[in-house]
Structures are given as C-alpha cells and as structure tokens.
Amino acid sequence: MTSSNDRPEQAAELRRRAEENLRQAAQLPETDIALSPEETRRTLHELRVHQVELEMQNTELRRAQTDLESERQRYFDLYEMAPVGYCTVSEEGLITRANLSAASLLAITRDARAGRPIFSRFILEEDQDIYYQQRKKVLATAETARCELRMVKKDGSGFWAHLEISLGRDAGDNAVYRIVLSDISARKQAEEIVLLRQSEEKYRTLVQHSSDPIFSFNVDLTYRFVNEAFARPFGKTPADFIDQSPHAIFTGDEAEKHLALILQVFQTGQKKDAEVKVVSQLGEVRDYWTLADPIKNAQGQVLFVTCIAKDITERKRTEEEKAKLELLNRQLQKNESLGRMAGAIAHHFNNKLQAVMGCLELVIFEMPQNGRAIDKLNAAMQAADQAAEVSRKMLTYLGQVTGKQEPLDLSELCKIWLPMLQLAMPKNVDLATEFPCPGPTVKANAEQILQIVTNLVTNGWEAYGGQQGTLELIVTTVSSVDIGKAHRFPVNWQAGDNPYACLEVRDSGCGIAAKDLEEVFAPFFSTKFTGRGLGLPVVSGLVQAHNGVVTVESSGGRGSVFRVFLPIPSERVYRLPDRIAKTWERERGGTVLLVDDDKIVLSITGMLLAELGFTVLKAGDGLEAVELFLQHKNDVSFVLSDVSMPRMNGWEALTALRHITPGLPVILTSGYTEEQVMEEAHPERPQAFLAKPYGLEELEIAICRALGPT
C-alpha cells in the first residue's frame, strides 16, 4: 500500500508519462504508404490501448492531485497547530514565516507576522551572543544546532526557550534559517527547584561542618542556631545552645560585648563587625573577628541575625610579632646610627688626643722634673688619658675591642677576682656567691670578663643607694632555650644549639622603671647621677664581642637581675701555657717615613720619633709617600702610616710600597680600632698596628715589633 508521503511523487510521475505519450502521438510521422487492413486494425488497436492508458493515467493523476491537496491541508493543519513553534528567518534576521505556536510564544499577531519582525529582538540581550554563535555554527557546518536561552515577549514577559536551528531554502530558492522553538520554562523551573534544594542541603552541610563558627540569634537575643565549630571549644553540642543567652556561655564582659553587637544589628538593620575574645573550656583565650548580618522579611523587618566568626588569633600574634620586629628594626637602626656616630667621633677624638698627648709628653721630657709646672703637665696628661679611656669605652660599647681569647673556667676567674671586688664594695652591701667547681669553660679574654663582672657588681651595689643589702654573684650553665627573650641585648642576637655559661648578678635595690629597661645599655643613659652611663654599655659591647648576650629583669623598687650568657664551645678546649715574653733591644737610629694627613699629628709624631733617635721623612698622604719613598728607598728602615687619608689611603700606600720593596716593615695607625681597620681582606698586611692616641712607650713597642725578628 502506498503511503501518503509517496503520493505526491507518484502523481508527478503519472503526469510526466501522460505528457510523454501525448508528445509521441503528436509526433507520429506522416507517410504516403497505404496501410493494409491488418496494419490499420493493429494501429487502431494500439491507439485505443494508448487512449485507455491515458484515461487511466488521467484518473490516477486526478486521484493523486486530490491526495496531494489533502496532504497539503493536513500538513498546514499540523504546521499551524503544532505544539511547538516553527518559524523561518531570513539571512537578514527577519521572521518570514511563523506558525501559530511560534506567534503565540512570541506574542505576535497575524498582522505582525506579515510585518516581518526581527527574530533576535525577542531574545534577552544577555543571551543574544548564544543565538548568533549557533547561527554561525549552522552556516559553517550545515548541521542542525541546538541551544537554550532566555526570550521575551512583546509584553515584556520572559520564558526559557529551546531552539533547533537548521539551514533551508524558501520558494524563491533563498537561503533561510529554519527554527524550531519550544517553551522549556516549566522544565527550567523544576531544575532550579532541584538545584535550590541541593544548594540548601549543601549550604546546610557546609555550615554545619565549617571550620569557622557560624551562629544566629533570635529577636529575644537567644541562640537560634550554632554549628559544630562554635560549640566544640566549649565541650558542648550545637543543641546545647539553642534558646540560650550568651550569659549562659560566656563571662560577663564577653557576653555583653556579643550582645551589644547583635543588638546594634537588630536596631539598625545594618551589618556590623567586631573583634571579640573567647575563653575555651581549657582556658585558652582566642581572638575572633565576627560579622553579624540581619535577615529581613519583605517588609524590611529583621527576623533574626546570622553571624560568622573568623579565628584571628594567629593573625593578631603575627601583628604583635610584626610590631616587635618593627621595634627591633628601629632599635637596630638606632644602634647602627649611634655606632657610626660613635665610631666617627672616636676616630676624630683620638686623632686630636694624639696631638695633645704627644705635645704633653714632649714638654714633660723637656721640663725639669722638680718644678711646679711638671705637676700641672702630669695632671693634663692624666686628664688626656681619661679622655682616651672614654673614647675606648665608646668603641667597646660597639663591640670593637681587641684581646686574645682563650679557654677560661668562669668560676675560677670570679674566685680570683673576688677579693678585689669585696675590697672595692661599700660596707653596707654584702656579696653572696655561688660558684660551681669546676665551672663552665668559655673561650674569652680574662681582663674583659673581669671588666664585665666589675661593672655589673658596681651597678648592683649602687642600686642600694647607701641602704643595707646583699648582692648575689652566681655562675651556672643553662640551655639555649632557657635564655629569656625579653629585654636582651644586642636585640638581634640569636641563640645557638650549644649550652651557655651564665654569669648572674642579682640585687634587691631600687630597680629600674619599665620605661627605662630598653635604655639601660644606651651610652650615657643613667638614672643615678650625671657623669655616669658607660658601665652597662661597656658590658653590652664586651658581651657582644664574645658572641654572647645580656638580659635584664627589673621593676621599680624590686631590684634587678642581670644575666650574661657566654657560649660554651662544643669541642673540648685546652688552655695553652702562657708564653714568656722575650725582649729585643733595637739598634738606635735609622730613617722612618711618616705618613699622616693631619699636619699637627704629623708634626708631633715626628718629634716623638726624633726623640727615639730616628730621622723622619714626612708625607701628607699615600701618593706623596710613594713619591718620597722612591727618592729614599735605600735609607728608609720602616714606614709609620695613618689609614684614613685622601687621594691614597694607608692600605693602598702599603700595597704600592711593598710592590717597590717587598717585605718593607710597615706600622699602620688609626683613630679607629684594630678590628675595624683589619676586618677587610687586603693583599698586604702591616707588621704592627697602633691605636690612637698612643704615647712614646707604645710607639717604641710597635717599632720593636715591626723591626724585630719574625
């Protein structure tokens, strides 16, 4: 049985065959040949057969045309009344044809359909890119494209639509887009409901298992909801908090701060945040940042308040550590600046003292020893020595000290010095000691350790201010982790892994105010009386030179405890026997090349060298010294040169002179310490170093060292 879909094709085929038969009949050739009766009958018979076939074909054609019209009407009914929308869109975007469903979905009338509206205007502006991308895809691949987007009707109402876009041609053989349009709003709404439920469930799960405390309050300021993170620190379950007041959970102050925050949100309807402290069941204090957010109804009334808290304890600690580091950095910068200033002052001060003391020493040699003037000169020399001592103490405060370090038993060293300490102490103060035997062994300079002990003990007995008291001097061994971090100097000191020897001086005197604790090791800072203030800075500098640290604990009226921590070497150290110093008598006379940019120092030092029997060649800087040496290199016995000079300094001059005469004896001198001068690497090294100010005796010792046997 032929289907309805095949009937239009059959009708077309019948029409073609009938037309072909008629054409053949019309084109029969004319002939003059007379046909026989038999041929005539046969021809007539064939004509009657063709006529019957034509009639049958015409009948079939009429039947096919009737079926085609029926199918066309049926197709039209299906197209117009289909539950989905069909429309044809030209390349320019005009709707050239639309069925009733499409017109209904887009809310366009039959007149509007005839007016060829633009299809894209019915698509939500945000989704138009989706439509045009699918059109490009169809045009490029000639395949049907599908998409979901939001559309709007002329009345402004919107709906979700599913589009199927394919290529086709209209009656005029023009390319068009065929679009199948379906309303999927109900499906989308159902999907959104499912997603919303899933989201709510997911949110509920996340809130309940969040690591941050989340909770809410009713209008009566009781808990409406709390999650596990909120309840856990108190050793409770979330159910234990429901309908409870914060007063039942927190201390009075904490509860009031919580309630004040929530009450503000209920009253203002605005978000509020605050930092609160929470004490856990174990007594641990934690800091939280809390954000309270009002939940309102359609009329704007606050129904309840939801809060989320963030543990900021570590952040607060980090901020505190940062503040401490900034304070430490400021102290280091202050110390660095003070160190540069102190070093520069000491350098220039020592240069001038060199001239003063040199002049005084020369005048003393020339003056009769029994006159009254000699006493005044000696007093001036003594004052100059004391001034030089102040300069040395300033450099000591900076840790710029010299001295051989060797293994020492700290207890044994304190015992040896104990009688001298007790002799110097006032009668109103007793000294109690505690020295383990044997004591901890440190690698140190004995004189500098004794200087530390003397300054700390002196500071301790002065704290009593004439009152009766007892001073304690204790030696112990401690672990590096037991060294206090508060009020220790230098402030940037870091402990190693080895144990430390501890020298402790404890008094119960006047104590130190909290505001002064950070200043006690600053030069010339004193709460006692004017003129003091270098004892503790010297202690700090000496301890720094030994890679140690000093700490202080004190409060006003309750005494002070100073502790000096010195590293104990990890390897076993043995004390070497002291070498017996050998004296060497130098030969008198010779020529010295003296180099210094300070004309007064150059003149006075030249006189001192002349006093020792030398012929002196003088140069104002290193460049002049090299030129002078080239003229007298066979006569010069040694060179005495300052370090800091213009054009060519002492180190550069030393290198240049040794290039001319290898092994030339050289003595370097400076107002800076030997550590500062010698800390950098240089290709050549001097035989000796003289720290300014120096006297005739120190000068002669340095010359002997430079010229003596190596």
pLDDT of the residue at 519: 66
Residues 222, 215 contacting (CB under 8 angstroms): no
pLDDT of the residue at 162: 93
Most confident among 163-167, 261-265, 446-450, 699-703 (mean pLDDT): 163-167
* pLDDT over 80 (residue 133): yes
pLDDT of the residue at 530: 44
- Distance (Å, rounded) from C-alpha 424 to C-alpha 446? 19
- Those residues whose C-beta lies under 8 Å from the C-beta of residue 60, and which sit 6 or more positions away, are 10, 11, 14
* pLDDT over 60 (residue 337): yes
* pLDDT over 70 (residue 18): no
Do β-strands 406-409 and 302-311 pair in parallel, antiparallel, or remain unpaired?
unpaired
Q: How confident is the model at residue 581 (pLDDT cuts 50, 70, 90)?
A: very low
- Distance (Å, rounded) from C-alpha 69 to C-alpha 310? 77
Task: Indicate the DSSP class of residue 211.
Answer: S
Lowest mean pLDDT among 53-57, 237-241, 518-522: 518-522
Q: How confident is the model at residue 134 (pLDDT cuts 50, 70, 90)?
A: very high
pLDDT tens by residue, 87-112: 889 888 888 888 888 888 887 876 65
Instruction: Please state the length of the chain.
Output: 710
Q: How confident is the model at residue 479 (pLDDT cuts 50, 70, 90)?
A: confident
Q: How confident is the model at residue 170 (pLDDT cuts 50, 70, 90)?
A: confident
* pLDDT over 50 (residue 420): yes
pLDDT of the residue at 74: 61
* Three-class DSSP category at 168: strand
* pLDDT over 80 (residue 82): no
* pLDDT over 60 (residue 67): yes
pLDDT tens by residue, 280-310: 666 777 888 888 888 888 778 888 888 888 8
Q: What mean pLDDT do residues 319-339 have?
A: 73
pLDDT of the residue at 395: 62
* pLDDT over 60 (residue 30): no
Most confident among 385-389, 445-449, 595-599 (mean pLDDT): 595-599
- Distance (Å, rounded) from C-alpha 541 to C-alpha 522? 11
pLDDT of the residue at 174: 87
Q: What mean pLDDT do residues 577-585 have?
A: 39
pLDDT of the residue at 115: 62
Of 401, 498, 526, 491, nearest in space to 452 by CA: 401
pLDDT of the residue at 627: 92
Q: What mean pLDDT do residues 684-707 have?
A: 85
pLDDT of the residue at 575: 43
Q: How confident is the model at residue 127 (pLDDT cuts 50, 70, 90)?
A: very high
> Regarding predicted confidence, which is higher, 62 or 411?
411
> Regarding predicted confidence, which is higher, 575 or 446?
446
* pLDDT over 50 (residue 582): no
Q: What percent of the chain has pLDDT over 90?
A: 12
Q: Is 124 exposed, middle or buried (0-12, 13-18, 19+ CB in 10 A)?
A: middle
Q: What is the mean pLDDT of the chain?
A: 78
pLDDT of the residue at 578: 40
* pLDDT over 90 (residue 256): no
- Those residues whose C-beta lies under 8 Å from the C-beta of residue 684, and which sit 6 or more positions away, are 651, 654, 655, 658, 666
Q: What mean pLDDT do residues 547-567 have?
A: 84
- The per-residue DSSP string of 578-639 comes to PPPPPP-PPPS--EEEEE-S-HHHHHHHHHHHHHTT-EEEEESSHHHHHHHHHHHTTTEEEE
* pLDDT over 90 (residue 638): yes
pLDDT of the residue at 592: 94
* pLDDT over 80 (residue 407): yes
- Give the CA diameter of the chain: 192
* pLDDT over 80 (residue 333): no
* pLDDT over 80 (residue 687): yes
Strand partners, 444: 406
- Distance (Å, rounded) from C-alpha 258 to C-alpha 221? 10
